[in-house]
Amino acid sequence: MTEAEEPTTAEKILLVDLCGTLYHANTTWAFLRWYFKDERSFRTFDRFGRMAPIAALNRLWPGDVRRLRAIGYLAGHQRESLSRAANTFLDSLDVIRDVEEKVRSLADLHDRAVLVSSSLDFIVEAAAPRFGFESFHATRLAYEDGICTGRIERDLLGRKHEVIREEFGGALITMVTDNRGDANCIPLVTKVIGVAGADRRADVNFWSTRAREVIVYHE
């Protein structure tokens, strides 16, 4: 469908990724390393997991086992405490200003702007209002009586296309993302705007052949 053929009555939705798109960080891992910086067992686990042979094995296993085990360290922590910690943590992160400016201008042209991230729910919830998003979708953790179980209830890693199908069918969707894994969303959206650092030629080339537009930022 061409832009000239797009029905004017369809809702216009802006979907925006978080990690590597608005922030210079993988917010899940960055938060866990910040939150557990004084916990020796987590530091040992993290250091071991980043060793080349282990990292290579992890890529072969479905579902990113290392990430799942890292999230397990959150078991027993209160949701409210995690939310407060996330707000403090986000204050320390660098925002990609070129992308933020573009997103804010695009939001004015859409009926709704939604933050969609595979990062953890309490992190994405804290980030959303900082960029003017009224709603969000994120990897949802399991809680019992407000206490995190350390398990995932719904994982959006590689599955944002499921949210698009379930929540935004029939809408005219613009998606802004740096994540190559979001390429499976391309058939479901009207337009993709890719994000890539100027020094990451592979990412620039990847999105140049798939996206309507590429935001190339300088770090």
* Rounded distance between C-alpha atoms, residue 99 and residue 23, angstroms: 9
CATH number at residue 168: 3.40.50.1000
pLDDT at position 62: 56
Q: What pTM value is reported for the model?
A: 0.90
Question: How far are the Cα atoms of 41, 52, 74, 164, 210 from residue 183, in angstroms, in the given order?
Answer: 36, 26, 30, 13, 8
The arithmetic mean of pLDDT across residues 128-137, rounded, is 98
- Does the pLDDT at position 4 exceed 50? no
pLDDT at position 126: 99
pLDDT at position 94: 98
pLDDT tens profile 24-58:
999 999 999 999 999 999 999 999 766 555 555 55
pLDDT tens profile 164-208:
999 999 999 999 999 999 999 999 999 999 999 999 999 999 999
* Rounded distance between C-alpha atoms, residue 139 and residue 157, angstroms: 7
pLDDT at position 64: 77
- Does the pLDDT at position 155 exceed 90? yes
- Does the pLDDT at position 22 exceed 50? yes
* Rounded distance between C-alpha atoms, residue 158 and residue 189, angstroms: 16
Average model confidence (pLDDT) across the chain: 93
pLDDT band, residue 59 (cuts 50/70/90): low
* Rounded distance between C-alpha atoms, residue 193 and residue 209, angstroms: 11
Question: How many domains does the chain fold into?
Answer: 1
pLDDT tens profile 76-93:
999 999 999 999 999 999
- Structural domain range at position 146: 3-217
* Rounded distance between C-alpha atoms, residue 41 and residue 76, angstroms: 16
Q: Please, which residues bridge with residue 16 across strands? A: 115, 176
